Amino acid sequence: MVSFALNGVGVSGGIAIGRAQLVSHATLEVAHYTIPASKVDAEIARFTNAVKEVQRELEGLHVAMTGGDVPGEFGAFLDVHWMILSDPTLSEAPKKIILEQRCNAEWALTQQMSVLVDQFDQIEDAYLRERKGDIVQVCERVLKRLMGKPGSLPPPVAEEQTILVAHDLSPADVIQFKHHHYGAFLTDVGGVTSHTAIVARSLNVPAVVATHNARSLIRDSEMLIVDGSSGVVIINPDRAVLAEYRLKQSEIELSRQKLKRLRTKPADTIDGVRVELFANIELPEDLAQTVENGATGVGLFRSEFLFLNREGLPSEDEQFEAYRAVAEGMEGQPVTIRTFDLGADKQIAGLDGLARVAPNPALGLRAVRFCLAEPRMFLTQLRAILRASHYGKVRILVPMLASSSEIDQTLVALAQAKESLKDQDVPFDQAIEVGGMIEIPAAVIAMDAFLSRLDFLSIGTNDLIQYTLAVDRADEAVAHLYNPLHPAVVRLLAQAITSANKAGKPIAVCGEMAGEIALTRLLLGLGLRNFSMHPAHLLSVKQRILTSEVAPAKPLIDRIRRADSADRIAQLVDKLNAM
């Protein structure tokens, strides 16, 4: 076995040593795992059912279309797809693959699809060659069905020692990975801000992206070392290298242990400025990690998890139980529940408003806009949050607000929810605080509307940067233009924090910037006193705060606020960090 190294961009620190597991490179990312012999029949049945369901779906679409003034063309396309799906090459062959290779249905179908796509690729006629698109579309429909109802995902032998190697990872993979404990992620594409990076950091798992060809160079179950800090990947390391990295790994673990002693220490700067450190969580189960890392509140409880990997809307009771669990678990410390931030890159099946493909999802019907357009869904969520407020200190956080009328509409919806609970004598916190996310530049520029109507604010820096710089950080071609230190971003942050502080309204940062220790002193200097971040970063940020001083940094902060380039700001931030 040849030992070699690959270089990529390290986007999530730490060292992992383990075996490679390749993830398929189909349009949809598909996992590959082995099915125990006893489950093969069930896996084949799962495939058969998915095919049947998609067939019915296509038939349903066709029925819905006939009679209307839809061109016959569309119906014909559905027929083609139905026939392709019924063709034994797609409906039967994968079963054989499942049986022979004892692999999961998704993988079997993807393999069969690749075989067919390869055959189409050899066609000389360009027009006919492109017909492979129909095959891919049909397969994707079935894959989506299968993935919506995952089979029994048997975790590979030791997950901590499994390193996932993929072309790219999608946001939909996030929740799936939360239930696993993979050792590291490696992807061909992506940057510091790609989904893989965000997921990896949030899971505290080392990750290297932009390796360009890791997926084609690395073979299944090869031994890998992934150094997420330097971006180095070593394939089939020799004994000396392995020993060296094991040592590094234990050093990292040691410093993690040391940090744990800071858990109950208040986050005060050297000059006595008190800072609140809150946690961002996605699932009620994240609570344990939150408490373990000494958070004094939950600054952002993303509620979208309720929608993932399921069909239909979560009921009020189901939501209530999830929110109450967190409210009770935090024992009187604030729990900030953000209302659904659906749309954009978080598409949910089964919601009509989202079924259509928006021309520009990031600028479309998402978050509060979507909630206001679906008043029944919104009312259900507001009632569930209000009910949970009886069991702890719950706050409501509304995403993507841009204007006073949206705030007013939201407050009216909340008043209705309160009214309906009162009518039914259901207890809730009448004085529940309502806050708004600051993530659209308009919200900062016209923040007086927010300050007069809301109880608190929280800056979502990820979106604020995206909208200020017009950069989609998930788009590899422009991701390098995404820069938290752009003067416009820094000035917007300064303005938002200053005006909130002046008005006496609490303001937090809950975007990724809050969890980056290189930016802790900058945010402190801009006047921020409440940081909300992934629990994994809480202790290192706290350590940073404990060694910072606010007053002496003021002249540097003033220069940062006046600087006209990101490079200049980066230099000044370096100086600030060296103080």
Partner 1 sequence: MQTRVVSVVNPLGLHARACARIVSIASKFRSTVSLSVKGRRASARNIVAVMLLTASVGANVRIEIDGPDEAEAMRAIAALFHDGFGERS
Distance separating alpha carbons of residues 456 and 464, to the nearest angstrom = 17
Of the candidates 195, 486, 534, 537, the residue annotated as catalytic is 195
| CB of 52 or CB of 260, closer to partner 1 | 52
Of the candidates 81, 167, 510, 537, the residue annotated as catalytic is 510
Question: Do 181 and 160 touch, CB atoms closer than 8 A?
Answer: yes
> In the complex, what is the shortest distance from the CB of residue 88 to partner 1, in angstroms, rounded to a whole number?
7
79 binding partner 1? (CB under 8 A): yes
Determine how many CB atoms are found less than 10 A away from the CB of residue 303.
23
139 catalytic? Reply is no
Question: Do 458 and 508 touch, CB atoms closer than 8 A?
Answer: yes
488: Cβ–Cβ under 8 A, 6 or more apart, which residues?
A: 468, 469
> In the complex, what is the shortest distance from the CB of residue 77 to partner 1, in angstroms, rounded to a whole number?
7
Identified binder of partner 1 from the candidate list 28, 77, 160, 409, rule CB under 8 A: 77
| CB of 119 or CB of 255, closer to partner 1 | 119
Identified binder of partner 1 from the candidate list 20, 54, 90, 192, rule CB under 8 A: 90
DSSP one-letter code for 262: G
504: Cβ–Cβ under 8 A, 6 or more apart, which residues?
A: none
Size of the site for partner 1 (CB under 8 A): 22
| CB of 75 or CB of 156, closer to partner 1 | 75
| CB of 72 or CB of 555, closer to partner 1 | 72
Using DSSP's 3-state secondary structure scheme, residue 428 falls into coil
| CB of 131 or CB of 480, closer to partner 1 | 131
Which residues 448-467 are close enough to bind partner 1 by CB under 8 A? none
- The first and second tokens of residue 535, run together, are 């629990």
114 binding partner 1? (CB under 8 A): no
Identified binder of partner 1 from the candidate list 64, 83, 243, 579, rule CB under 8 A: 83
84 binding partner 1? (CB under 8 A): yes
Distance separating alpha carbons of residues 133 and 80, to the nearest angstrom = 12
> In the complex, what is the shortest distance from the CB of residue 81 to partner 1, in angstroms, rounded to a whole number?
9
| CB of 124 or CB of 423, closer to partner 1 | 124
33 binding partner 1? (CB under 8 A): no
| CB of 128 or CB of 412, closer to partner 1 | 128
> In the complex, what is the shortest distance from the CB of residue 89 to partner 1, in angstroms, rounded to a whole number?
5
Plot region of 163 (φ>0 → left; ψ -120 to 50 → alpha; else → beta): beta
Distance separating alpha carbons of residues 459 and 509, to the nearest angstrom = 5
Q: Which helix (H) or strand (E) holds 9?
A: strand 9-12
> In the complex, what is the shortest distance from the CB of residue 400 to partner 1, in angstroms, rounded to a whole number?
41
For every residue of 176-227, DSSP letters joined together read: HHHTS--SEEEESS--TTSHHHHHHHHHT--EEE--SSHHHHSPTT-EEEEE
HEC sequence for 84-145: HHHCHHHHCHHHHHHHHHCECHHHHHHHHHHHHHHHHHCCCCHHHHCCHHHHHHHHHHHHHH
Identified binder of partner 1 from the candidate list 64, 76, 158, 445, rule CB under 8 A: 76
- The first and second tokens of residue 118, run together, are 């390869």
> In the complex, what is the shortest distance from the CB of residue 145 to partner 1, in angstroms, rounded to a whole number?
19
> In the complex, what is the shortest distance from the CB of residue 28 to partner 1, in angstroms, rounded to a whole number?
20
| CB of 69 or CB of 73, closer to partner 1 | 73
143: Cβ–Cβ under 8 A, 6 or more apart, which residues?
A: 26, 28, 30, 106, 109, 110
Distance separating alpha carbons of residues 167 and 107, to the nearest angstrom = 15
> In the complex, what is the shortest distance from the CB of residue 79 to partner 1, in angstroms, rounded to a whole number?
5
71 binding partner 1? (CB under 8 A): no
HEC sequence for 82-93: HHHHHCHHHHCH
| CB of 124 or CB of 331, closer to partner 1 | 124
Distance separating alpha carbons of residues 522 and 499, to the nearest angstrom = 17
49 binding partner 1? (CB under 8 A): no
89 binding partner 1? (CB under 8 A): yes
Considering only 85-93, 351-359, 452-460, 564-572, which stretch makes contact with partner 1 by CB under 8 A? 85-93
> In the complex, what is the shortest distance from the CB of residue 355 to partner 1, in angstroms, rounded to a whole number?
24
87 binding partner 1? (CB under 8 A): yes
> In the complex, what is the shortest distance from the CB of residue 133 to partner 1, in angstroms, rounded to a whole number?
9
> In the complex, what is the shortest distance from the CB of residue 139 to partner 1, in angstroms, rounded to a whole number?
11
The edge-to-edge listing of strands for the beta sheet with 207-209 is 4-7, 232-235, 223-227, 15-22, 162-166, 184-187, 207-209, 9-12
- The first and second tokens of residue 533, run together, are 């971040």
195 catalytic? Reply is yes
| CB of 77 or CB of 177, closer to partner 1 | 77
135 binding partner 1? (CB under 8 A): yes
Which residues 115-134 are close enough to bind partner 1 by CB under 8 A? 116, 119-120, 123-125, 127-129, 131, 134
Which residues 221-280 are close enough to bind partner 1 by CB under 8 A? none
| CB of 127 or CB of 356, closer to partner 1 | 127
Rg (CA), the chain: 25
Burial of 430 (0-12, 13-18, 19+ CB in 10 A): exposed
140 binding partner 1? (CB under 8 A): no
Q: At what angle do helices 538-546 and 239-259 cross, to 10 degrees?
A: 60
533 binding partner 1? (CB under 8 A): no
- Tokens 């579309």 label which residue? 137
Supply the residues annotated as catalytic: 195, 510
Residues engaged in binding partner 1 (CB under 8 A): 76-77, 79-80, 83-84, 87-90, 116, 119-120, 123-125, 127-129, 131, 134-135
